[in-house]
Structure 1
Amino acid sequence: MKLRNLEIKDAPLMLEWMHDKNVTSKLHRNFAAMKLEDCEKFIQSRILDKENLHLAIVDDNDEYMGTVSLKDIHQEDGYAEFAITIRRAAMGKGYSTYGMHEIIRQGLEELKLNAVYWCVAKDNLRAVKFYDKNDYQRVSEKDIPKELLENYSPDLLDGFYWYKAV
């Protein structure tokens, strides 16, 4: 497995996870409304995007397994927000562990960030178990940069656990 830039050929498999309720049920976005064209536009837009890094997690045959991201990269302040999603076919096979470890490594070592933050819904038990099992550090909402918190509806914030990698 490896990380690489997203490619247009990834769009159909990206759409697959977006339409899979088992993957998206705990995410706070209407992915079911997405179309193939939306996936293609997203992939094309990332080429010029300097504030976000979106990479494909692929298997040894270069088949798309998921997307891992550093969003809202604040180079001057030294932080970004992490995100990941993988196809159901990739679950339990190490793709999440690999993708997360590698994108955080890139953020901290190559982009020279001081921290990478992310949140997960408290009722997303699969994700919470994954992060806790991998010894990622839970932090208080008060430790999160306010610019990241502004991306979330205040009424939803109580429903999240926040994590930090340094």
Structure 2
Amino acid sequence: MKLRKLQKEDMEGMLEWMSDSDIRQNFRFGTDRLDEKKILQFIENAEIMPIEGNSVHYAIADKESDEYLGTISLKEVSTVNKNAEYAISLRKKAQGKGIASKATKEILRLAFEEFKFERIYLNVFSNNFRAIKLYEKCGFTFEGEFRNHLLVEDEYRSLKWYSILSCEYQALCKNGFNI
């Protein structure tokens, strides 16, 4: 597994996970409005270095074949406050193989060691137990729950909020938190 800049060849893999109903059920936005033109525009505009108010997006790719496996992001970057929101999505074929954990550890390394951020945070639907297990395994701390916070497809959904601080990441590294 490696992180790299998104490429136009990744579009097909992106469309695959975006149209997968099992994956989409864990997102609050509808991906059905995305088409090839919008995805290519997203890829072309994807940054890999933090800029105030923007997001960074990396392809998660197979180390040997360079095949696109998913996308991992730091969104809503605040270079002033040194924080960003974490997000990840994997194609179904990449799930259950430890790839999400490795990619998360690598994006945290970039965030804290390269970009010098103080805090990375995320929110997740309260019933997305698989994702919550990943986040806790990777060192994120539960901060609280926004109950019935979002109306998604005529159903209220609750969000759990997690974060990891630079000092917590450094402590994990001292205790063998490696990729």
Quick check: 1:125 aligned with 2:129?
Answer: yes
Q: Tell me the equivalent position of 1:150.
A: none
Q: Deviations over 1:121-162 (max 9, x none)?
A: 0011221222234442111369xxxxxxxxxxx932971111
2:118 maps to 114
Matched, 1:12 2:2: no
CA RMSD in angstroms, aligned pairs only: 2.1
SS in 1 for 2:15: helix
For residues 126 and 19 of structure 1, what CA distance do their matches in structure 2 show?
A: 20
1:58 aligned residue? 61
Q: What letter matches 1:54 in structure 2? A: H
Alignment partner, residue 143 of structure 2: 139
What SS does structure 1 have at the residue aligned with 2:149?
A: coil
CA distance in 2, matches of 1:141, 1:92: 26
Q: Distance in 1 between matches of 2:41 and 2:163?
A: 30
Distance 1:3 1:30 in 2: 25
- TM-score, length-normalised on structure 2? 0.80
- The TM-score normalised by the length of structure 1 is 0.85
Q: Does 1:155 align with 2:149?
A: yes
What secondary structure, in the 3-state scheme, does the structure 2 residue paired with 1:116 have? strand
Task: Return the structure number with greater relative CO, CA threshold 8 A, min gap 6.
Answer: 1
Following the alignment from structure 2 to structure 1, what is the Cα–Cα distance between the partners of residues 134 and 40? 29
CA distance in 2, matches of 1:101, 1:4: 14
Give the number of the structure whose residues are more often strand, by fraction: 2
Q: Distance in 1 between matches of 2:109 and 2:20?
A: 29
1:55–1:140 distance in 2 versus 1, CA, 3 Å = same
Q: 2: CA distance between counterparts of 1:105 and 1:55?
A: 14
Structure 1: state its 5+ residue gaps.
143-153
How many residues are matched? 155
Letter in 1 for 2:5: N
